[in-house]
Structure 1
Amino acid sequence: MNRRHILKAGAAGAGLAALSTLGSARAAATAPGAAPAVGSAEDQRLNALFETMLADQLAHSPEMATSLGVDSGAHAGAKARLDDRSLHAWENAKARTARDLAALRKIDAAKLTGNNRWNLASILYSTQLNDTMNRSFATVGSPYVVSQLTGCYQQIPDFLDSQHTIADAADADAYLSRLDAFATAIDQDSAAVRHDVAAGVIPPDFILAKALTQLKALRNVPAAQSNMVASITHRTAAQHIAGAWDKRAETIVARRVQPALDRQIALLESLLPKAVHTAGVARLPKGEELYRLSLQSYTTSDMAPDEIHRTGLDLIAQQSAQADAILKAQGYTQGTVGQRLRALYDDPKFRYPNTDEGKDKLLADLNRQVEAMEARLPQYFGTLPKTKLDIRRVPKATEAGAPGGYYQNGSLDGTRPGAYYINLRDTAEVPSWTLPTLTYHEGVPGHHLQLSLAQEAGLPTLRKIQFFSGYGEGWALYAEQLAVEMGVYENDPLGHVGQLHDSIFRAVRLVVDSGMHAKGWSREQAVKFYTDTIGDPETMAITEVERYCVWPGQACSYMLGKLDWLRLRDKARAALGSKFDIRKFHDAGLLPGAMPLPVLDQCIDGYIAAAMA
């Protein structure tokens, strides 16, 4: 996720949801763009400003309009366009951010009522941080425009397939217009890469190599067999929309998209001789400041890299001891915790067949886990989402560099459900004992529940689509532990080991991320620490470590956010005693929408004070 996409989303940090990192599901009683009823004149000023900011973002990001399900009516023209990724558009986005910040600072927070206190604080936080980053760095990427996880080549094909709806010939024509615009977007990304190279920013050699692998995989599929052609062909046929859509799409891919991909491939190949093998961003211009601001952006915490590193090491020791006890009770006694976890990974009895049939069964099992969890939710949540959750596999074209799982928001109007994507490039990477906790993280009570509740709440739309990684990823990791407290592992001790494994994994992230970006660790040193500690296959460790290289600080948001959710829950329980109700605590933290952790702290203080009154 580079800064221009963060700006468009109005987010302080993106998860792969953002990735989409960036928001989620069915609209509440208020229509998209409509602010809830407000009391004071200052509330009305704030919501009018939010409306202006949202309209501006939608005007400049047709992809956001589609992602939110509002690319019709007033925004109908958006459906035939992609975002402008040019350097000129980037400069304009920075100017709009500075303008928005000036307007937000004119709002008198003391005169706001209800959730508008948190709404202003949250939007102000992200806008101010984006402005600081804009003024601090002369590069488009944060840090890299094109990598194995960033760049329109990695995002647009799936966007066209999963988010661009086709109901009639006009929608199909709009798809073709966007397919043609994809070639322009690739060239705009390439121009941004050249801009950043001139400023001294070249990705590490291993990042360039992985990006090239994926670019070539996309490029080398014959146009007629491309997923981009297949998507419009299948969907127009299903809707009985007459026309030579396959031939028209094939021509665009062959004459426009593939040559643009060739140009980007040649550009990255030309950079390889200049690339270094150093993993961290400290080597880049103002690299130390970049890491500090990236940490703040993703975690919304001011914790220093050294403290993050120590916290990770302490948590690894504590949670490894818990896993050790369970493993011994199950007869796994030989070797370190990491070695025993690796033995579980390698045990074929926990593997699904690496076939289409085996992968279908895995997806069916995940759906059953979701259904069982949904039956438990009313005991722990006062408000539950209405939005449906789909479980899908990561597209084959991007699975090589994609993470193990991620969540993609549904549309604001509820017509497109939320989606939990799981990477099935190799079922050996997802043994059965690891799957429940991943489902609780990405689905319920994790991302899907939190993000859907935010979109279904009576919040200004600008707030519904805002995502803070420390809050959102922290919640999803907290949800993994909440599942333990809900009793889901009472008859599944190895599933509990899977939960502890993933919690240790997030502690490893604290150590590895700070290690590479603040302590000079190499990629190989990071991979070894990762595999030694939790026993994951090296292929998974490499994917994860290389992710941290291109999203500095993002990996720290999970555990730091979880620790804050747990701290605030303990604080509320201690203050309220017998009055504490976990359902009300969860509603208090979730219904006001995503926010920076310091604002969440204030919000929970307000809940405690009201509950004690």
Structure 2
Amino acid sequence: MRTTRRQFLASTAALTALPALPACARGQAAAPGDAAAEKLLAATAEQLLEDDPAQATSLGIDKAERTHLRSMLQDRSAAGLKKAADGLRARVAQLKALDLNSLSPVMRTNVETVRTSLEIALDGFAFPYGDVAVGGWRNSPYVVVQNVGAYLDTPRFLDTDHKVQNAEDARSWLARFEHYAAQLDGETGRLQTAYDKGVIAPDFLLDKCLKQIALTRGGDVAKWDLVSGYAGKPNVTGDQAAAAAKIAAGKIAPALDRQIAELKRHRAKATPDAGVWKFPDGEAYYAWALRAATTTTMTPDEVHRTGREELKMLQSEMDGILRKQGFTRGTVGARMTALGKDQRFLYPDNDEGRREILAYMTKTIQDMRAKMPRAFHTLVKGNVEVKRLPLAEEPGAPGAYGGAGSIDGTVPGRVWLNLRTTHLHTRYSLATLAYHEGIPGHAWQGEYTFKLPLVRSLLGFNAYSEGWALYAEQLGAELGAYDSDPIGRLGYLQSLAFRACRLVVDTGLHAKRWTRAQAIEWFATTNGSSVDEVSGEVDRYCSWPGQACGYKLGHTHINQLRRKTQTALGKRYDFRAFNDAVVLGGNVPLTVLDSVIDRHIASRRA
């Protein structure tokens, strides 16, 4: 179906007329308890920003009464985490005291969503080790590892999100740079506690981590990109540049050295055991990690079985396409491996190839943005750019990730690509990746949260956000991306199969005692992915237990709800209206998404 310019402009006009409230609340009268609930949710948002001030800057809301947050960073010490957990506990008690029956349906969704998020985090804080993402996806049993830690997070944040556009920005950047040392020492103290409790990362993860943190530490601090980059800003004085160099040499470099020494102590005691089953309470920890990542109560065996069943269905379709393309011998995985080695579909493994990948991703996202009026009645801008990951992060990072930018639009959403080798990406897989991370995936969906109460922009659920990103890949296919490109459709199906494999591998590592080598071999041969790609993936599952399971389970759930809506509404079913309902309801637990769609069905029947 073609969309006319008039239809596009009408959709855009509808967006600009939206109030800063949940779209599904438009035209709905407030209930007696809404005012008190709204006030409590607003206070919760401010508390979360105080606990992690970088969020205020990333969202572009560190202004006016929040200006003080611009000079602060999260306290990552044990005392800082305890203070945050105590605050969450108090907020949950207040949320529980609300009478849900006195709230409008949309406000009830807001309250249930926030309460669920905080309760999941508190259950994670009950374990005396690891890193808990309050309202996020990056839960880890390890304080610092190849993809967790201030040594990665803070330099990237100071380089990309904290803009230095005036004298006050320069002063606040310097204050944060100094606090970076305290973050590192806070984590090092927690590493020492973890060591005493026997919670030590696998040796292969620590090897990666030590290599990466050495890159962050570097040699001459005067040559650090952060220090030289800050000094080169037009709003930075000579005294401030000198102060940054002094902080780097006198505080940050020694803090990094202390953390490296502690990590080396861990490495001396580390084993190759990959899963959390090795902890005394490993079974309980993994049960929590799965619940946090999927917002379900599925057992590891149920997740494992689901992965194998979904994989079988997907590979059946792939088999038919492969046969038509002349790939007839061997398993689907073996034939996809052969396809992945075909020089027609590879990029040069050099800077020219990297530039080609970045340019292709940018154009693909632009092209899909123009198709969005065919999939949604309500549009957002899709403010997103494609960038290469920082070099220090690439060895331990996945192939790509992305998200929305700031609420005020000054910081665009980003698709970060890992380009340590171009062989992480094939020509037939990049379009699907663009839809997943960019539009209509993470960057696109994230912009809708800006119309919700602030606290909803600060909290998210892995199964919803990653399920949506896979659904975004599906939307790309449904909007015709592969109609004349069977190889591209194979890339899309392989992407879904990849996520089905994750269900098998994650549970295999953490519940069935698979080794790293076993997981890599099974993943690569079953899905036809490169060993390079799945090696990094498996390492990620080792450090973020459960997270990889949210993708396919969330995607499957959204499609189950779509089929339910089609059956219930018949001729009244509207493809764009369903997509609006899913995305405008915001990032929610899957159980709450059920209620959102039930209300959508009821409204369409009325």
Equivalents in 2 of 1:429, 1:462: separation in Å?
A: 36
Equivalents in 2 of 1:382, 1:28: separation in Å?
A: 12
1:106 aligns with 2:97: yes
Equivalents in 2 of 1:27, 1:70: separation in Å?
A: 21
1:347 aligns with 2:342: yes
CA-to-aligned-CA distance 1:340-359 (integer Å, 9 cap, x gap): 22222222222222333332
Within the candidate set 411, 422, 427, 1:432 is matched to: 427
Within the candidate set 125, 129, 132, 1:134 is matched to: 125
Would you say the 8 A contact 2:375–2:576 is kept in 1? yes
How many Å apart are 1:40 and its aligned residue? 2.6
Q: Counterpart of 2:565?
A: 572
Q: Counterpart of 1:9?
A: none
For residue 444 of structure 1, give the secondary structure of its aligned residue in structure 2: coil
1:589 aligns with 2:579: no
How many Å apart are 1:241 and its aligned residue? 4.7
Q: Counterpart of 2:47?
A: 56
In structure 2, list runs of 5 or more residues that go unmatched: 1-15, 132-139
Within the candidate set 476, 486, 504, 2:497 is matched to: 504
Q: Counterpart of 1:546?
A: 539
1:74 aligns with 2:65: yes
Q: Counterpart of 1:470?
A: 463
Query: 1:99/1:533 Cα in 2 relative to 1: closer, same or farther (>3 Å)?
Result: same
Within the candidate set 314, 324, 327, 1:329 is matched to: 324
Q: Counterpart of 1:200?
A: 198
Query: 1:183/1:38 Cα in 2 relative to 1: closer, same or farther (>3 Å)?
Result: farther
Q: How does 1:206-245 map to 2 (within 5 A)?
A: 206-234=204-232, 236-237=233-234, 241-243=236-238
Q: How does 1:54-203 map to 2 (within 5 A)?
A: 54-135=45-126, 137-141=127-131, 142-203=140-201
Query: 1:221/1:343 Cα in 2 relative to 1: closer, same or farther (>3 Å)?
Result: farther
Equivalents in 2 of 1:598, 1:69: separation in Å?
A: 31
Query: 1:423/1:378 Cα in 2 relative to 1: closer, same or farther (>3 Å)?
Result: same
Equivalents in 2 of 1:108, 1:396: separation in Å?
A: 51
Equivalents in 1 of 2:204, 2:51: separation in Å?
A: 34
Within the candidate set 251, 256, 264, 2:251 is matched to: 256
Q: How does 1:500-539 map to 2 (within 5 A)?
A: 500-539=493-532
How many Å apart are 1:328 and its aligned residue? 1.9
Equivalents in 2 of 1:369, 1:323: separation in Å?
A: 23
How many Å apart are 1:193 and its aligned residue? 0.9
Equivalents in 2 of 1:355, 1:284: separation in Å?
A: 42
Would you say the 8 A contact 1:27–1:413 is kept in 2? no
1:303 aligns with 2:293: no
Q: Counterpart of 1:607?
A: 600
Equivalents in 2 of 1:592, 1:172: separation in Å?
A: 38
How many Å apart are 1:51 and its aligned residue? 1.3
CA-to-aligned-CA distance 1:207-248 (integer Å, 9 cap, x gap): 1111111111111243232221233134x14xx654355544
How many Å apart are 1:536 and its aligned residue? 2.1
Q: How does 1:353-372 map to 2 (within 5 A)?
A: 353-372=348-367
Would you say the 8 A contact 2:561–2:597 is kept in 1? yes
Would you say the 8 A contact 1:205–1:277 is kept in 2? yes
Within the candidate set 317, 320, 332, 2:312 is matched to: 317
Amino acid at match of 2:524: T
Equivalents in 2 of 1:258, 1:462: separation in Å?
A: 36
For residue 416 of structure 2, give the secondary structure of its aligned residue in structure 1: strand
Amino acid at match of 2:60: G
Equivalents in 2 of 1:82, 1:171: separation in Å?
A: 14
Amino acid at match of 2:597: I
1:408 aligns with 2:403: yes
Equivalents in 2 of 1:94, 1:140: separation in Å?
A: 14
Equivalents in 2 of 1:182, 1:580: separation in Å?
A: 52
Would you say the 8 A contact 1:201–1:285 is kept in 2? no
For residue 392 of structure 1, give the secondary structure of its aligned residue in structure 2: strand
Equivalents in 2 of 1:360, 1:146: separation in Å?
A: 32
Q: Counterpart of 1:13?
A: none
Amino acid at match of 1:402: A
Q: Counterpart of 2:8?
A: none
CA-to-aligned-CA distance 1:153-197 (integer Å, 9 cap, x gap): 111110001110111122122222222211111111100111222
Amino acid at match of 1:139: Y
Q: Counterpart of 2:369?
A: 374
Amino acid at match of 2:532: T
Equivalents in 2 of 1:385, 1:530: separation in Å?
A: 37
Within the candidate set 468, 486, 509, 1:493 is matched to: 486
Equivalents in 2 of 1:285, 1:439: separation in Å?
A: 41
Query: 1:38/1:552 Cα in 2 relative to 1: closer, same or farther (>3 Å)?
Result: farther
Amino acid at match of 1:514: T
For residue 420 of structure 1, give the secondary structure of its aligned residue in structure 2: strand
How many Å apart are 1:277 and its aligned residue? 1.3
1:276 aligns with 2:271: yes
For residue 429 of structure 2, give the secondary structure of its aligned residue in structure 1: helix
Equivalents in 2 of 1:303, 1:386: separation in Å?
A: 37
Equivalents in 1 of 2:20, 2:332: separation in Å?
A: 51
Would you say the 8 A contact 1:147–1:211 is kept in 2? yes
Amino acid at match of 1:497: L
CA-to-aligned-CA distance 1:419-457 (integer Å, 9 cap, x gap): 1111111112112111000000001111122111121x2
The percent of aligned pairs where both chains have the same amino acid is 40
* 530-539 or 560-569, which deviates more: 530-539
Normalised TM-score (structure 2) = 0.92
Would you say the 8 A contact 1:408–1:419 is kept in 2? yes
Query: 1:451/1:44 Cα in 2 relative to 1: closer, same or farther (>3 Å)?
Result: same
How many Å apart are 1:477 and its aligned residue? 0.6
How many Å apart are 1:389 and its aligned residue? 1.0
Equivalents in 2 of 1:422, 1:569: separation in Å?
A: 31
Query: 1:276/1:38 Cα in 2 relative to 1: closer, same or farther (>3 Å)?
Result: farther
How many Å apart are 1:417 and its aligned residue? 1.2
Would you say the 8 A contact 2:41–2:111 is kept in 1? no
Amino acid at match of 1:553: G
Q: Counterpart of 1:3?
A: none
How many Å apart are 1:488 and its aligned residue? 0.8
How many Å apart are 1:375 and its aligned residue? 2.0
Amino acid at match of 1:223: V
Normalised TM-score (structure 1) = 0.91
CA-to-aligned-CA distance 1:91-116 (integer Å, 9 cap, x gap): 11111111111100011111111411
How many Å apart are 1:29 and its aligned residue? 4.7
Equivalents in 2 of 1:404, 1:433: separation in Å?
A: 15
How many Å apart are 1:139 and its aligned residue? 2.1
Would you say the 8 A contact 1:90–1:140 is kept in 2? no
For residue 384 of structure 1, give the secondary structure of its aligned residue in structure 2: coil
Considering Cα pairs closer than 8 Å and 6+ residues apart, tell me whether 1 or 2 has the greater RCO.
1
Amino acid at match of 1:188: G
How many Å apart are 1:610 and its aligned residue? 1.6
* 84-93 or 169-178, which deviates more: 169-178
Q: Counterpart of 2:4?
A: none
Equivalents in 2 of 1:42, 1:406: separation in Å?
A: 39
* 157-166 or 138-147, which deviates more: 138-147
Q: CA RMSD in A?
A: 2.0
